[in-house]
Amino acid sequence: MSYSQSAKPRSLLRRYLVAGYALLIVYASLAPFFGWQEQGFTFFEVIVSPLAQTFTAFDAVSNLLAYLPFGTLLALTLSVHLDARRSILWATVAGVLFSVAMEYLQMYLPSRTSSNTDILANGTGAFLGAVLAAIMVQRPWFVRLTEWRIGLFRQGAGVDFGLALVMLWMFAQINPSMPMLGNVFITESAHRVFAAMPEEPFNVWESAAVSLNLMMAGLLLLLLLRERRHAVMGLVLLLGVVALAKFVAAAVLLKSWALLLWLNSEAMLGLIVGLLLMGAIGWLSRLWVFRATALAVLSYLVLVHWTLDTGTPSAAMRLYYWRYGHLRNYNGLSQTVSSLFPLLLGGYLWWARASRRQKEGRDEPLR
């Protein structure tokens, strides 16, 4: 079974997700983006070097898992226009070529290592992701889920980009070295299980940042959904998914004493205040919701960049019991996405408002 005709006009969401995920891979592959220089060997030497020379099990698994979503998203996008076999083929080819490009560029970064085993693992991940997508699109539940999503949200240009922004926001929140919906890296000094935590002064500005962060995502949902009553359920679902993913990530990546540091008092107060403000704003007209969202974006930017000290990605590294360089890139990526989200949301609001005014102008009768 293929996608229904009603799903095709909404395929922009998958394109946005493919482009966004590709940019995440670029960041993870090429950070810190400085120190470019010749390393004294050619890319052909990298390709023909013995596979065992740079192989580690962790790198193989992490590279495979990194490209699996890329293959899935790309094959889902291609499946709107191609059959299953060609979707798998072109998604795999694109994954391999993309990996080759990243490994080639890494050859000029002294802090990174180009490896043919990475290309093999990345290509395998893209292939498995494409196969997964081909299996998914043949399942009736996936078609019904796609049609349910289309019916749940408003129609019109830009809605899919708004949904992609919501998913980008969720990605930034999963990092367990940041408090729930916070933007400050955790730096509490604790060294063993049940160790007494040092007394830290309560920071009301961190709670304010959590409230504004919650409002940005919640109000964006309010603008995208057809019915406002679904916004509460959608926001609760988002928070549940983020909290579960954060807990799982903490259980896998963090030391035992740091397992629940992301659920602190500032975050809890911020969540409560943010939900109350969301409930009040939900009764306002769509125009005032637009204005409230823009105000939340502006306030968040001012608070984060001029009031709070967000720390650095390296400050949280001691929370992890894994010491791989991937985690430093992951922390840096989370911080970058957290910083970009309000800017992208502000640009989206400006575009949506301008488009609405233009449409209202066209609809006015000639005088």
DSSP code of residue 296? H
Read off the tokens for 226: 């057809």
Burial code (b: 16+ CB inside 10 Å, e: under 16) for 312-342 equals ebeebeebbeeeeeebbbbbbbbbebbeebb
**pLDDT by residue (tens digit) across 289-316?**
999 999 999 999 998 888 777 677 777 7
Can you tell me the mean pLDDT for 65-80? Answer: 94
pLDDT at residue number 361: 59
pLDDT band at 191 (very low <50, low <70, confident <90, very high): very low
Name which of 186-190, 220-224, 337-341 the model is least confident about.
Answer: 186-190
Say if residues 139 and 76 touch (Cβ distance below 8 Å): no
**For residue 5, pLDDT beyond 50:** no
Read off the tokens for 62: 């992490």
**For residue 154, pLDDT beyond 60:** yes
Please name the residue that has the structure tokens 């590294």: 317
pLDDT at residue number 128: 97
**Helix, strand, coil content of the chain in percent (nearest 5):** 70, 0, 30
Can you tell me the mean pLDDT for 154-160? Answer: 81
Can you tell me the mean pLDDT for 29-58? Answer: 79
**For residue 200, pLDDT beyond 70:** no
pLDDT at residue number 133: 94
**For residue 1, pLDDT beyond 60:** no
84: CB partners within 8 A, 6+ apart: 134, 137, 138
pLDDT band at 188 (very low <50, low <70, confident <90, very high): low
**For residue 2, pLDDT beyond 50:** no
Q: How far apart are CA 347 and CA 148, in angstroms?
A: 28
Read off the tokens for 163: 């949904």
Q: Measuring CA to CA, which residue among 188, 190, 183 is closest to residue 207? A: 183
Q: How far apart are CA 224 and CA 293, in angstroms?
A: 12
Question: Which residue would you say has higher pLDDT here, 207 or 198?
Answer: 207
pLDDT at residue number 325: 65
Can you tell me the mean pLDDT for 45-64? Answer: 80
Name which of 150-154, 160-164, 231-235, 353-357 the model is least confident about.
Answer: 353-357
Say if residues 107 and 138 touch (Cβ distance below 8 Å): no
Q: How far apart are CA 69 and CA 98, in angstroms?
A: 14
**For residue 196, pLDDT beyond 70:** no
Question: Which residue would you say has higher pLDDT here, 311 or 26?
Answer: 26
Say if residues 298 and 346 touch (Cβ distance below 8 Å): yes
What's the residue count for the chain? 367
pLDDT band at 78 (very low <50, low <70, confident <90, very high): very high
